[in-house]
Amino acid sequence: MSRKETKPRADIYARITDRIVADLERGVRPWVQPWNAANTAGRITRPLRHNGMPYQGINVVLLWSEAVARGFTSPIWMTFKQAVELGGHVRKGESGTMVVYANRITKTETDERGDEVERAIPFLRAYVVFCVDQIDNLPDHYYGRPAPTVAPARRIAHADAFFANTGATIRHGGDKAFFAPSLDIIQMPPFESFRDAESYTATLAHESVHWTAPAHRVDRDLSRYAKDRSVAAREELVAELGACFLCADLDIVPELEPRPDHASYLASWLDVLSNDKRFIFSAAAHAQRAVAYLHGLQPDSGMVREAA
């Protein structure tokens, strides 16, 4: 691939990462903002496409952050063309938000022995979307808030059933939450020690993302977690993103205050992101893969698809 072809993709990585770094330098975790925003009263959801399908991976982080920064209340986003096709129009002067589409193309090449081999080449394309809040004259249902998919009285029972269906061994006791790879168990403080059921669920979601790491699940290497602070910081970012994605999927609205151990990772996250413009994409993809794995263990799996 030529230098000319790779530069635009590198610029996309850098632009998005620089924006997230700027948020972190101000002490703001952009993937957490929506939970504490006054304008998101009611159901928390992943950002949605015009057809109701949820965005995945890095696009969740980008659109959540943009919605809070600009005061948008609708979770639905679409391209200019999609708005026109639906009879709407983007208001004059409105600026769009960049999201990305990632995929792979297969190219056939001749190797040094003269044999034809196929090589998968990743590509990244940026495009612009607008929030429904920026668009007039769409069909009425685009302007309504989505109704909760789970009745409030059943919300926590629904989450408890979700984690039970994963088959993970969850033990309670002590004052720390962690995943122990050597024992393959999730350790949680007693339920009564949490502020509320939502906080308990969010913490369990975080540890469940760690639980997906072993090779027989999604295969994220944690062998150096206890020895290398950089490796630990990377894994904690994956788990933090995954917990936010999963809480949105389960219709859980916790107050995601920074855990003391995660606050200490802030400098490490800044260091990693400043030196690796692709890491936030990788972390979001790992988080998405972990959450998809947990959904796949449910009797009625398929809630979250692997689209970008």
Instruction: Give the pLDDT score at 212.
Output: 98
Rounded distance, CA 139 to CA 304, Å?
Answer: 26
Instruction: Give the pLDDT score at 31.
Output: 63
Instruction: Give the pLDDT score at 264.
Output: 59
Are 55 and 76 in contact by the 8 Å Cβ rule? The answer is no
CA distances, 184 to each of 103, 174, 198, 213, 229 (Å): 33, 17, 24, 10, 21
In eight-state DSSP terms, residue 128 is E
Contacts of 261 (CB under 8 A, 6+ apart): 236
Beta-bridge partner residues of 77: 131
Q: For residue 124, what are the domain limits?
A: 3-296
The verdict on residue 93 lying in a domain is: yes
For 213-224, letters b (16+ CB in 10 Å) and e give beeebbebeeee
Rounded distance, CA 138 to CA 111, Å?
Answer: 53
Instruction: Give the pLDDT score at 299.
Output: 92
Instruction: Give the pLDDT score at 305.
Output: 39
The verdict on residue 132 lying in a domain is: yes
The verdict on residue 307 lying in a domain is: no
Instruction: Give the pLDDT score at 5.
Output: 43
Instruction: Give the pLDDT score at 169.
Output: 96
The verdict on residue 305 lying in a domain is: no
The verdict on residue 306 lying in a domain is: no
Are 32 and 244 in contact by the 8 Å Cβ rule? The answer is yes
What's the predicted TM-score (pTM) here?
A: 0.75
Beta-bridge partner residues of 180: 185
Domains: count for the chain: 1
SS (H, E, C) 75-111: CEEECHHHHHHCCCEECCCCCCEEEEEEEEEEEEEEC
The verdict on residue 17 lying in a domain is: yes
The verdict on residue 120 lying in a domain is: yes
Are 307 and 292 in contact by the 8 Å Cβ rule? The answer is no
93 C-beta neighbours (distance < 10 Å), count: 6
- List per-residue pLDDT tens for the chain, 308 residues long: 444 444 555 577 777 777 777 777 776 666 654 444 444 444 567 899 999 999 999 899 889 888 877 878 889 999 999 999 999 999 999 999 999 988 777 777 777 777 777 777 777 889 999 999 999 999 999 987 655 555 555 568 999 999 999 999 999 888 889 999 999 999 998 888 887 888 889 889 999 999 999 999 999 998 888 888 888 888 988 998 898 889 889 888 765 555 555 555 666 777 778 888 888 888 899 999 999 999 999 997 654 433 33
